[in-house]
Amino acid sequence: MVWLETKKVFIVLIGALLNAIAMNFFLIPANVYASGFTGVAQLLSSILGNFGSTGILLFILNIPVTILAWKKVGRSFTIYSFLSVFLMSFFLEVIPVIHVSKDILLNAVFGGVIAAVGVGITLKWGASTGGMDIIAMVLSRMKDKPVGTYFFTLNAIIIITAGFLYGWEKALYTLVTLYASTRVIDAIHTRHEKLTALIITKKSEEMKKAIHDKLVRGITTFPAKGAFTNENKEMMMIVITRYELFDLERIIKEVDPNAFTNIVQTAGVYGFFRRD
């Protein structure tokens, strides 16, 4: 358990470092903007000039959502997410801004990809990089409504503001960054809001108890039989949000490492989706 937590801290540190490198080596020098709160911090830093650096502004912006997460989501997720924000803010301050390339397209693509790798591995290990991810998780737990609109609205504000400040060419390259980031995060983790897990196991009772102890989600079970072994098993179906994927994967590995699990995208849920 201690080894797992240590590894998780290391992953969060690497994710924060990658995000800071993407910002200070590629996006900030080219005036190309990241998504979410990081992009907002960039914009505010550009407007305020010497009165506010991106790292400090990013940290300040995340304080209210961290308090919200502590009250609505849970301590473990909040602590690791806050650690991610703190480390990224720290790295943004200590790593110098360097013009690696004068090609704005290369800056947009590499900045987006490197940042997305940082975000993706952080999400995969059950934390977040703060900002909109925390807000999305709170909304998904409280209201069970799509959060894509909030992401789109905030990013649209960033793009339009970037266009007014630095010209529409910069805004278009910001779109390139957002597209590259989304594709890479999809490959590493997922941006789908809801997922369906189909778990085939011989330890269904232990699995149900472990899932219910950690996640507040309903489970539907079906009898199953192995076609090759003829062993009687049980298939469990559970719909989760993407933020609960790490916890579910860890539960399955702890209870039954031999369980077969299929994670599929859920386009929509009709009926009762149990939530906190």
- Residue-level pLDDT at 1: 58
Q: Is 270 exposed, middle or buried (0-12, 13-18, 19+ CB in 10 A)?
A: exposed
- Among positive and negative, which fits the CA dihedral 234, 240, 245, 247? negative
In a 3-state reduction of DSSP, which class is residue 267?
coil
For 10-19, 58-67, 160-169, 251-260, which range has the lowest pLDDT when averaged over its residues?
A: 160-169
Q: Return the ∠ at Cα 124 (arms to 118 and 125), rounded to 5°.
A: 95
Q: What residue ranges do the domains of the chain occupy?
A: 2-188, 194-265
- pLDDT(187) > 70: yes
Residue 169 reports pLDDT greater than 90: no
Q: pLDDT (tens digit, 9 = 90+) per residue, 190-226?
A: 655 678 999 999 998 999 999 888 777 788 899 998 8
- Return the pLDDT at 192: 57
Torsion of CA 89, 92, 95, 96, to 10 degrees: -150
Which CATH code fits 194-265? 3.30.70.120
User: Mean pLDDT of all residues in the chain?
Assistant: 83
Half-sphere exposure of 64 (CA within 13 A, CB side): 5
Find out whether 98 and 166 touch, Cβ atoms under 8 Å. no
Percentage with pLDDT > 90 across the chain: 26
pLDDT tens, residue by residue, 89-114: 999 999 999 988 888 889 999 998 99
> How does DSSP classify residue 244?
G
* Residue range 162-173: mean pLDDT, rounded: 80
The more confident residue out of 30 and 22 is 22
Half-sphere exposure of 183 (CA within 13 A, CB side): 10
- List C-alpha distances in Å: 257 to 15, 128, 211, 260: 27, 26, 15, 9
- Model pLDDT for residues 221-246, shown as the tens digit of each residue: 999 988 888 888 999 999 887 777 88
The position carrying tokens 């590894």 is 7
What's the pLDDT band for 175 if we cut at 50, 70, 90? confident
Amino acid in position 265: Q
Check residue 276 and give its pLDDT.
44
pTM over 0.85: no
- Distance (Å, whole) CA 126 – CA 235: 25
Length of the chain: 276
Q: In what order do the strands lie in the sheet with 260-265?
A: 220-225, 232-241, 194-201, 260-265
Distance CA(263)–CA(266), nearest Å, equals 9
